[in-house]
Structure formats: structure tokens, C-alpha cells
Amino acid sequence: MSDIQDMTLDEIRALLAPVLARHAAFDGWRKDAVAMAAAEKGVDADIAALAFADGPVDMIDAWFASIDARMLDALPPETLATLSIRRRISALVEARLDLLAPDREALRRAIAILAMPTNAARATRLGWRAADVMWRAAGDNATDLAHYTKRMTLAGVYAATLLVFVDDESEGHADSRAFLSRRIEGVMRFEKLKAQVKGVGGGERLSLARFIGRLRYPAL
């Protein structure tokens, strides 16, 4: 690791992000959490504050980016290559849940912040980014409409799973994993339906709209 004094602000963000959530669980996604994380890592408090100058969503963004990176470390390409596409996606989401588990209170606070209307656009971008990272790790390189629909559906599945996860007290978060499995099963059924109606005018668009409606109001 380079000397802290020589780090860029982006490198400071990456250094602090993994421990920032631990402090945000107690202090909220506020300047106090940044100061505590900076003290833990030996970073000047003023520099740390500058690295997160855009406030709470900036902190959450950095934390989620660290989850992206740690997820990829936990499931390298050679491991994912042995799995089916469906199992790759499940494993990637489950890896994220494992990484988020120690900081569920911070996650709960983050979700509440991202749910604010003023943060809707940023929240959408973060959800899209997580889905994109997962699909790329799973080996998806589609460039047509499927590129967008895959990420949109996975972002919806992931967001719905997180809402279950933050209140899941089952052993090993079994309820969240079961919920995820049901949602992915729904996606697979949808993909089969798309294949059946492909080429039929308007069929794919109507099916997609119904599916997104189910994601918005998922059945537990």
C-alpha cells in the first residue's frame, strides 16, 4: 500500500470505505463516522472530510463500491466458471449479503437515506452499478436490449432482497436466501417467457412491464 500522505482522494475513499460502515452504524452516515474511520486508519481528518465532501450518499457510494470489489475477490473468475449462469448470479448476490451482514444497521440507515426523493437518481445509479458488476462477473457481455433488461431485473431482485435482509433474524439469513432463490426463479421463468414470445409484436414489452410490476410489489 502506498504511503497515506501520497494517496489521492479516491485512494483515501477506498481505504476508509470498508470501515466507514462500522462507524456509521452508531454515528449515522455523518461527518463523525468519517472522522472515526480516519482516526482508525491514520488519515488526517480534514483530508478524509474532503474525500467525502458530497456527504452521506458519497459515503454510501464508497462503501457499496468496496462491497463490489470484495465480492469479486471472494468469487474469482475461475470459481464462477464452474457454475451455471443462474448459480453464478445467486452466488454473487449471496456473497454481497455475507459482506453486508456485519454492518446491517449501517445498511438500514443507508437504505433510508437512498429512499429519500432527493436521492432517487443516485440510488438508481448505485443499484444499476451493483447489477452491472455482477452480470459482468457472471460473464455477460450482451450489447443489445438484453444488456439493459438483465441489469434492470437484477437490480430489482437485489433491492427487494436487501429489504428482506435488513430485518432477517433467521440463522445464516436463510429467509433472505430463500427469498432470493424465489426471485431468481421468477427471473428464469420470465426469460423462458421472453424466448416464447420473441418476435411477436409488443409481446416482450408487455411481459417486461408485468415483470417489473411484480418486482415492485414482490410476494413474500
- Averages of pLDDT over runs of 10 residues in the chain (220 residues) are 79 95 94 96 94 95 97 97 94 97 96 96 96 95 85 94 96 95 81 60 47 48
pTM metric for this prediction? 0.83
Which grid coordinates belong to 197? Answer: 414470445
For 185, residues 6+ apart whose C-beta sits below 8 A from its C-beta are: none
Output the pLDDT for position 188. Answer: 73
- Which residue, 111, 135, 107, 137, is CA-closest to 122? 111
Alpha helices in the chain (DSSP H): 9-27, 31-41, 45-51, 56-74, 77-80, 85-100, 104-114, 120-137, 145-165, 174-197, 203-216
Q: What is the pLDDT of residues 33-43, one digit of tens each?
A: 999 999 999 99
CA torsion, ordered 55, 56, 59, 63, to nearest 10 deg: -170
Output the pLDDT for position 27. Answer: 87
Per the CB < 8 A criterion, the answer to whether 27 and 33 are in contact is yes
> CA 119 to CA 97: how far, in whole Å?
23
For 36, residues 6+ apart whose C-beta sits below 8 A from its C-beta are: 23, 27
For the chain, the domains span 86-216
Output the pLDDT for position 206. Answer: 42
Residue with cell 454492518: 103
Output the pLDDT for position 205. Answer: 45
Q: State whether the Cα torsion 133-85-193-182 is positive or negative.
A: negative
> CA 90 to CA 184: how far, in whole Å?
8
Residue with cell 452516515: 29
- Which residue, 95, 103, 128, is CA-closest to 24? 103
Secondary structure element (H or E) that encloses residue 5, with its range: none
For 155, residues 6+ apart whose C-beta sits below 8 A from its C-beta are: 127, 128, 130, 131
For 103, residues 6+ apart whose C-beta sits below 8 A from its C-beta are: 21, 22, 24, 25
Output the pLDDT for position 74. Answer: 97
CA torsion, ordered 211, 212, 213, 218, to nearest 10 deg: 80
